[in-house]
Amino acid sequence: MRLSKFRNLGNDLVNIKLQMESEYLQQLQKVIESKNDVVTFLHNTKSKETAELIVKEGFEFQSHLDYTSDVVSAKDPVTIKYFTIVRQAYGNYTMVIQIGKDLIEDYSEILETLPHHFSEALTVKEPYLGSEEDLIYCLAPNFVKGFIDSQTAEFHANPIFNPNLKSPLFEENLRRILKSQNKK
């Protein structure tokens, strides 16, 4: 009789965990969906404080945005599920980053013959050399839609989110990139 109680408790815990995971995946899919034509990047972090800092100050990434994050589509739940499994070890807070496709295409077209990535232009701080000898950039916080706590499925929205932001700073970054190439 006692053993069956423990089995039931174990089954209940498994069911609760599966339900929480399902709620998190549903919330993630819902947050990723957008009326805008955007490209979505996901990144996990370990602490809520770090997630809040990213929302406030922007997302630091190494070299190119897609080196430090994963591109996903709301239309592809298999990729989203795969991301949650593979990146779970990196933390319980999933950052959702979305950038307008037109913005990406505009900068990519200008930079297509250069060894630079569109994400380098969409930054708010001067790049610096990281510990692995790669440049570290800081994506504008406006592209951070917010973050989801995978344990509670709670979404924390960024009040200044704007996936189509065009900033004079981005144009200045682009001029700096182009100028650096002309010197070579």
- Give just the sign of the alpha carbon dihedral 145, 42, 70, 171: positive
pTM above 0.75, yes or no: yes
Element (H, E) at 66: helix 65-68
Q: Burial letters for 123-149: b for 16+ Cβ neighbours within 10 Å, e otherwise? A: bbeebeeeeeeeebbbbbbbbbbbbbb
Tens of pLDDT along the chain (184 residues) come to 455 555 554 444 344 444 557 788 889 889 998 888 999 999 999 999 999 999 999 999 998 888 888 888 878 888 888 887 878 888 999 999 999 999 999 999 989 888 888 999 999 999 999 888 888 999 999 999 999 999 999 999 999 999 999 999 999 999 999 888 776 5
* Cα–Cα nearest to 149, from 46, 75, 66: 46
Domain locations along the chain: 2-182
CA angle 60, 78, 144 (to 5 degrees): 25
